[in-house]
Each structure stands twice: as structure tokens, then as C-alpha cells.
Structure 1
Amino acid sequence: MDLIRHLQCFVTVAEESHFGRAAQRLGMAQPPLSQRIQRLERELGVRLFDRSSRQVTITRGGALLLDEARQLLADAEALRATARRVREGHSGLLRAALPPDVSGETVAAVLAGFQQARAGVELELRELSTADQLAALASHDLDVGLVHHPCDVSGLELGLVLRRELGVLLPRDAAAARLEAVPLAALTGYDLVLFPRAHAPAVHDDLLTTCARHGYTPTAVRHGQSPSFVRGLLLSRRAVTFGPSDTANAGDTNLAWRPLSGAPLAWRHSTAWLRGRGDATVRAFADTVADALSRTADTGPDLPSGPLHLRPAAEYSL
């Protein structure tokens, strides 16, 4: 039995005190309305109306149930309204993630932009590597994330692919720091500090492959993540690292950031979500991230001259 529909019939008959008028108000014939009231009475075990040829009078038991019936109908309508807001992207919870290399300014811009775009949605934002995001998406523990490419995109839908050109951060007294733009081959003899390979294996290997093709094979690859630890490695281990211009600390007199000749290295990333799960809220987050990155991280759409390969294609072993 459709309890909500039957309660609507009960309340309408109680308000009209007439089956004919109630049926007209409900947009149905009178016999089916009478049958619904009878079925509701059987279901509840309570006689709701006294009927005569002239009038319909609500019983004492019916009167006691009427307020609760109205409250149930109001709650049902509130539930439907909330569901509509969730469906249209105006309410609910969005579980999202950004990678660790995103700057604080970008994170703040994402939070502010999403709040403005979807004020009724609670944003649960986490810091996760690409590998952790892909695992969380697959297990349905994450709704949307910003991933680095190349990665395995099977089963996913992607937002706009964005590009952030990488430069090199190196000791200021290094010979290459005197160049306006540094060829990768000029870094020969230096160790390379990278993010842990497990965070984004294909990106890690693709970067090393590109370095080798341009004449730079690092003497050693060291892994670091926090800025202070990476800085220590650069200063004490004769090492360099790659990063976009916003990762450089202008006040650090011991390190220098320089662009790479020919811009051979870049982060490519996009928002990603499970295929078929890209509702209005997910797409609002994707748009917010793209806007935040363009304003805070000198990022733009990736417009390659040839095909863009987003799946892992290269492996590099030391």
C-alpha cells in the first residue's frame, strides 16, 4: 500500500467532509477514493469516517490521527524537496580531493569558489595522491578528485585537462642557475628529488623518461614531499627538483627557480569521477578547480599538437 497517497486521501476527505468534492480535488473518481479510505481503515484497524447518504463525519479515532497524518505528509514533502536540491546540486555532501602539490592559495580559492557556487553543499576536501584518489574513487569513498596524468582512466569521466609548465629549483650557486632558461642536459651530475613513486607511478616514470630523452639522467633519484625536507636535500645533496613557478620561494636566497628550455616538462591534470556519477555538484567542483588553478597557479587548458595520451605509456627503471 502507498501509505503517503492513502494519507493524502484521508486528509482531503476530512477537510472536505464529502467524498465527491474530495475526489474532484484529488483528480480521481469517487469509487477508487472510497476504496482507498476503506483499505487505510483496514490497515490501521481504525474506522476513520462515519458515512451516511447525506454526509461524511470524521470519527473520534480519525480526528486523533489527522494531525499526525498531516505531519507525515509535510515530512514527505520536505524529503522530496531535499532530494530535488541534492539532485540539482544545491544540497548534500561532496567528498573531494586535491593532490599534495597544490598550493595553499589554490586550496583556498577552491574552497571559496565552491562555497559560492554551491552554498548548500558540504564540501569534505582531502589531500590525496593520484594513486590514493583512484583507489578511493574505485571503492566509492570519493566523489571527485584532481588527478595527475598519465594514469589509468578506465571507468572514469574527466574534466578539462589542464597544463602547468615545470621549471627547475636548484641551488643558487649552481652553474645552471645563471641561465635564463635551463636545458635538461645542463642538470647532468645532479641528483633529482621527486615525489614518492607510489603516489603517481606513471607520472613519476613519464617524467624520468622525458628527462632521459633530453639528455639528463640523474645520478640518483631521492624522494621527498614536504617543502622543508626537499629544501634540505637540494642544499646538502647537490640535487635539483622540478615544480611550477608558484612552488618557488622568492625569499629563499639559497635556491633559484628557472624555466626549462623548450618547456619539455609539465604537470597535466584534470578532475576525475566515476563514469555516470557526474551530477551537477561534481561538475560544479570541476569548474571551480579549473578556475582556481587558472587564477592561482598559471594553469591553462592543455592544447597539444598531437594526440594527448592520458594512460600510462612509458616505464623508466634506474
Structure 2
Amino acid sequence: MLHLRYFVAVAEELNFSAAARRLHMATSPLSQRIRDLERELGQQLFDRDTRSVTLTPVGSALLPIARDVLDEFSSIPWRLREATREQRDTVLIGIPPGLHPELRSRVGTLTERVQEQFELQRWPGSTQALVAGVREGRIGLALARLPFSDPALEQASVMSERMGAAVPADMFAGRDSVALADLADLPYVAPPKEVRVAYFDVLERALAEGGVRHRLCLTDTGYNGVSEVISSGLAFCISILAPENPIHGYQLENVTVLPFTDFHPRLETALVWRRDRADSDLKDLVAAAREIFDGPMIID
């Protein structure tokens, strides 16, 4: 199983270093495990040179098989629970940071709707952790920030929130909007990696193309640290515009969020569940969730 996990990681990343980071291991032992697997199968799975890694035809054929095997293996815990379950199941629903109050309200509606069949409990986490939990069967459903992709999972968009520039209020006093050119000399600070969603990588590229190239990197902090440097006049960031979003609770006194005039970032949230569970033990829960979270809601 471990060798198959290693193979899938390399096949999806097509880069041994990136796959090693994803697996939290060093590159050298990962390369050795792949060679071990190739030796055991008697087939070459990757073509490697100094510049690229590509799947061989055998590797391409193995990839869907390996994913299926790993999915079946990951499903063992919840299949055992299904085989021995009591009448009312406890199911976790993943909740990301800064969830809009309307989505939180709909989680409450779902909890009430399915209470005779399921005990729905909220589980906090980053999008990466929540998606992994759904894939592995520990979490039944999750609300997660797009983009993410996993062939074992299904998703339905439930909310799109307009984003603006969180800037030092004193530097933009009297302004009700901002253009990218106004921010060219102010460093951009992204949320630290521990709490950052994949969409911020897309934003960074778009900002660079728009002329915002200065960066300020923070580590060992969270949204509070980002707000601190903005309040001090050292940087700006991209944040959700709607004031009712709880992310605004992290803002300090000298921070304001202004809409863009020439840039249109939006944070997308999706409901995600495991494809095979929607046809088995979570069929009724997923059906109820899709009805309650029918969307997407557009928040401007």
C-alpha cells in the first residue's frame, strides 16, 4: 500500500521533489521505493531525465488501478463501521476557517434535517486537511475552498464571495475603492502556508501580472499576524469583502477592506463528499445536503 501511495504521488506531481514534500519524506528514499516497485512489477513506470519525469505507458495503465486499490483500502474503516453500525451514525462535517454565517446556518439546518438518522458533528480544519479527511473516510462531508481536485471526490459549488484589498486605513483614507496600480509600491502579504488555501497561489500570479511584485512573507503566525503588518502600514492582503464574514474579526483598528476597480478575485466554497459513499452509507445525508446547500450563493 505504501509503495502504491508513493507511486500515485509521483504520478500526480510528475516531480520527485514535489511528491516527497507532499509525502513528508526525503526525495532519495522516495526514488528508492519507486525503483523497488518497478523491480517487483518487472516494469518501468516512469521515464526520467534531468529535466522531467513522465509516465510510461505501463505507469499510465497502473495509475487508475492504484487509485482504485488505495480508495478501497481507505474505505475499510467506514465500511467496517457500516457493517457494525448502530441505528444512528455519528458523521463529521468539515468546517473551514472564516465560514460565511449563511453557510453555517445551513449546516444547522442539515443537522436538524437528518437528526433521526445521523448525529452530525462539526470538525474544523484547513481545506487540505478536510479534503484529505473526506477522502480517507474520517469526515463524511466538508465545506472546502476551491480549487482542489481528487478523482475519488465529488463537489458542488455552494458560495462565491467577492474579495477586496485589506489595506492600512490611514494610507487610503477617504477612498471607497482601489486599483492595482495604487498598490504597486505596497508589499503583498499572503496568509501563512499553514492556513493558506490554494486559491491564494492563483491570486499571487494574477497580482504579479497586474504589476504588484513586492512580497512580504510571514511564518509561524496566522490571520492575526497578517492583520498586524497591514495595520502597521507594511503591506496589504486580499480578503473577503462582505463585512459579515467572520474573517473580519481578525482585523485591527487601522485596517480596511476596499473593493477593486480593475481586479475581480472571488473565493469559492464547495460542498465535497466521497463519490462511493454517496451511493451507500451516506446516500441520504448527501441528498439532504445537496438540497439544503443548493447554489451557489453569490456574495458581493
Band the TM-score falls in, shorter-chain normalisation: 0.5 to 0.7
In the TM superposition, what whole-angstrom CA distance separates every residue of 1:120-173 from its partner, at most 9, and x where no partner exists? 221121111111112212221111111222222322111135311101121111
Pairwise CA distance, 1:179 = 2.9
The residue number in structure 2 matching 1:268 is 268
Aligned-partner residue type, residue 273 of structure 1: W
Aligned length: 207
Taking the aligned partners of 1:232 and 1:196, their CA distance within structure 2 comes to: 13
Equivalent in the alignment of 1:153 = 150
SS state at 2:189 partner: strand
TM-score (norm. length: structure 2): 0.59
C-alpha spacing 1:126/1:241, structure 2 compared with 1 (3 Å): same
Contact 1:151 1:203 in 2 (8 A): no
Query: Considering only aligned residues, what root-mean-square deviation do their CA atoms show, in Å?
Result: 3.2
| Matched-pair identity in % | 18
Deviates more, 1:210-219 or 1:140-149: 210-219
The 3 A distance-change label for structure 1 pair 275 and 112 is closer
Distance 1:250 1:198, change over 3 A: closer
Q: Deviations over 1:76-119 (max 9, x none)?
A: xxxxxxx9xx9xxx95322110211214x346514431233223
CA distance in 2, matches of 1:284, 1:220: 44
The equivalent position to 2:288 in structure 1, one of 280, 284, 287, is 284
- Conserved 8 A contact 2:187-2:215: yes
In structure 2, the partner of 1:164 is 161
User: TM-score, normalised to structure 1's length?
Assistant: 0.56
Task: Provide closer, same or farther for how the CA distance between residues 286 and 239 of structure 1 changes in structure 2, counting only shifts above 3 A.
Answer: farther
Query: Structure 2 matches for 1:106-145, cutoff 5 A?
Result: 106=102, 108-120=104-116, 121-145=118-142
Deviation at 1:289, TM superposition (A): 4.7
Highest Rg: 1 or 2?
A: 1
Question: Which whole-Å deviations, capped at 9, do the CAs of 1:220-258 have from their partners, x for residues lacking one?
Answer: 233586553332221225121222123446996522121
8 Å Cα contact 1:192/1:222 also seen in 2: no
Runs of 4+ in 1 over 4 A off after TM superposition: 198-201, 223-227, 249-253
Is contact 2:113-2:288 (8 Å) kept? Answer: yes
Specify the alignment match of 2:210 in structure 1: 214
Partner in structure 1 of residue 257 of structure 2: 257
Structure 1 pair 281/212, CA: closer, same or farther in 2 (3 Å)? same
Residues 189-223 of structure 1: CA deviation (Å, up to 9, x unaligned) = 22333233355563231110111122212332335
